[in-house]
Amino acid sequence: FSAGWRVSEEGFMKNVSWLSNLKLRGSYGESGALAGSPFQYLSSYTLYGNAAILGGGAVQGLYENAEPNTSITWERAKKLNIGIDATLWRGLLSIEADYFFEKRDNMLFAPDIVVPSEYGIGLAQVNSGSMSNKGIEITLRSSYTVTKDLQLDFTGNFTFVRNKLLRVFENAASYNNPNRRRTGRPLNTQFGYKALGYFQVSDDTNGNGIIDPAEYSVLQPFGVIRPGDLKYEDTNKDNIINQEDIVPIGKSAVPEIYYGFSPSVRYKGFDFSLLFQGATNRNFYMTATAAFPFENGASATKAQMDYWTPQNPNASNPRLTPTPAPNNTQVSSWWLLDASYLRLKTGELGYTFATQMIRKVKMQSARVYVSGQNLLTFAPIKNFDPEVGAQNGEYYPQQKVITVGLNLTF
């Protein structure tokens, strides 16, 4: 259902000369979406070889993967949108603003029950999850004619969106711990240990190159701990680092804020335009070959060569080891990066030849231009594309492209 009110068409608005358009609008509706992977209502089986010897020969066997979900149904989303459109000063400024809210139910989650191993197969998911989603979206446009030869235009957009898990199956170990609870937090909130920095040479009071509980009152049970290894916060103050010390360390990898702006100028035959796009309120977790030198037999990046030594105690990376040290590969805030960015996505400069000039050579139009893509990027992340989704950094990066072109119409 949707409704709108063109306020600017009402009689009491006729004398408001600076406002040429004002519209209030709203909508509400429900929609369904496929919950999870298809065919969950069926039993699925996997074949494997050499299951048994029958008649003197090996035969195949099969096993059931998971119980069928005979009650699976749609996710249901209730959506509300309230918006306003306005045009001021005869097009000098146009505004579109929206507030939206969505409540999604029947989301599929694994049930929070445990069955004996003798049950033999995995449990079917249950349509019982619930999540809310709300945000705002604003678009601004401006067009100004300075003279008959000079035109200025600008478009900008801003979107903020945040979700919250209202009901999600999680066991008592996480739900009853306020630091680990997923319910009530945004989807895909990142959890881990809070890194406090490095153990230093001064922490090794025994002088044997090993940090043991006698020297440091908190036990970190992730192998032998040495100076240059990461130190984690004992959140619950029980003098041991374990699952009870896990806390929220960052936002989802999906940005909460998207924005962009595009200025353009036209002067006589010249035209010039830029498109900037950006995102923020997002964290990128770096792991595997992106974080650890010599991971899985790989080499090391230039950034990983800034590693801890007694002479370099404030390095970006822990001490260097032939293979990643178990203590330093724990999921922690140390490897979480701010993935905000602003990128000059495209830029173009062109010139359109005057009509009277090209008619002499039997052409209707002619334009020459130079354009570029991914020209500049401003981001805290220096060694990876901030738009990347691969935590191990193994991806093909975006390329900077410069194009020179000529458009002719005969």
For the stretch 355-368, pLDDT in tens is 777 777 778 888 99
pLDDT for position 126: 87
Residue 68 sits at φ, ψ, to 5 deg, of -70, 145
pTM (2 decimals)?
Answer: 0.83
Residue 305 sits at φ, ψ, to 5 deg, of -80, -5
- The closest of 278, 109, 282 to 190, measured between CA atoms, is 282
pLDDT over 80 (residue 353): yes
The per-residue pLDDT for range 200-246, each reduced to its tens digit, is 999 988 888 888 877 788 999 999 999 999 999 999 999 999 999 99
pLDDT for position 115: 83
Q: Are 278 and 341 in contact (CB under 8 A)?
A: yes
Q: What percent of the chain has pLDDT over 90?
A: 59
Please, which pLDDT band fits residue 170 given cuts at 50, 70 and 90? confident
**N-to-C CA span, the chain:** 50
Please state, in angstroms and as integers, the Cα–Cα distance from residue 228 to each residue in 209, 315, 321, 331, following that order.
Answer: 10, 9, 10, 17
pLDDT for position 130: 93
Please, which pLDDT band fits residue 77 given cuts at 50, 70 and 90? very high
pLDDT over 90 (residue 310): yes
The pLDDT of 20-29, averaged and rounded, is 96
The two tokens of residue 2 are 């949707």
pLDDT for position 337: 92
Query: Which amino acid does the sequence have at 20?
Result: S
Q: Collapse the DSSP code of 92 into the 3-class scheme (helix H, G, I; strand E, B; otherwise coil) and give the result.
A: coil
pLDDT over 90 (residue 64): no
Burial of 353 (0-12, 13-18, 19+ CB in 10 A): middle
Q: Which of 37-46, 109-118, 172-181, 305-314 has the lowest mean pLDDT?
A: 109-118
The per-residue pLDDT for range 104-162, each reduced to its tens digit, is 999 888 787 778 888 888 888 888 889 999 999 999 999 999 999 999 999 999 999 99
pLDDT for position 200: 94
Taking the C-alpha atoms of residue 105 and residue 32, their distance in angstroms, rounded to an integer, is: 10
Q: Are 288 and 295 in contact (CB under 8 A)?
A: yes
Taking the C-alpha atoms of residue 102 and residue 80, their distance in angstroms, rounded to an integer, is: 6
pLDDT for position 214: 73
Please, which pLDDT band fits residue 44 given cuts at 50, 70 and 90? confident
pLDDT over 90 (residue 307): yes
Q: Are 335 and 285 in contact (CB under 8 A)?
A: yes
* Arithmetic mean of pLDDT over the chain: 91
